[in-house]
Structure 1
Amino acid sequence: MPISIYHLLGTGPSLFVTVPPSDLHHHIGGLLESQVGTDIMFLVSKETFATHWLVLATRSPVFMAQLFGQMKAKTTSHVGIDDIELRVLRAKLHIVYTDLLLDMDSGGDAPVVAQHLVVAADKYGMERLKLICEDFVTTLTLACQRLHWSLRSSMASES
């Protein structure tokens, strides 16, 4: 039974407030979409992505070191990245800002993107992203195996 202040004090009616789930990920994700207050640009495949150092540093110890630590990059507003594909960077930034994977159910390259995200997560010390993507790839692999066995069983029963 929920306990209210009134209940504890033994006075007045018992009032309860329902607190909705956090929507912080929508607000921070909105920063990426709106580009308000961005202070660093990533250049990948001739396309730029405006981001926020503070958000990146909060989510990645590698970015934290680049911004504040021994690896502190010289003051620059543009960073070129050659070792990541455009779609992988988009997916990575989405999870950095929202803590959610992009909808990767559509399109046949979802496992490939997830595998590249595992590599990027490992490079930037993003353990949560790495675990989420590894779980996605494992789940997808098990689903494919199940489908394969199901198709195989149905073909065997038709013979």
Structure 2
Amino acid sequence: MIINFEGLKNIVSVVDVIEKYLDLHKCGANLKAYCPFHDERSASFFISQEKNIFKCFGCGVSGDAFKFLQEFKKISFTEAIQEIASMYNYPIEYDNNEEKEEKERLKEILAFANNLFKERILKEPIVLNYLNRRGIMSKKLFNLIKSI
């Protein structure tokens, strides 16, 4: 988990992020552009520099720089944070590397157990007898287990 997100959020400009992807035009105190999330003939995508947000009055999508990047690039919130942090040369701090490593290790153990289960389930006579009594075909079960 990223622990210094608020610091990054305080320095990010929605304009800095969006202008990398859209052609922005001045419109009073705001900026406008053609919305990248739907087809339109006239620009209805507005960016408020004062509020540091965007809103499309055509399709209704709105948010901050992180939300824009998520929607535009179809990436996760964490990936958006990482990309924007990179733009600003902002060092990301995670809450605890040990916790992250432990979660990765648990994922590896679960994957191993899952593979072991799938490999051995159809080789156990007790399991096969039980499935036959229940009317479950081993071929059907084999295909189901392979798809997991």
What TM-score does the superposition give when structure 1 sets the normalisation length? 0.28
Structure having greater relative contact order (Cα 8 Å, sep ≥ 6): 2
Specify the structure having the higher radius of gyration (Cα): 2
What TM-score does the superposition give when structure 2 sets the normalisation length? 0.29
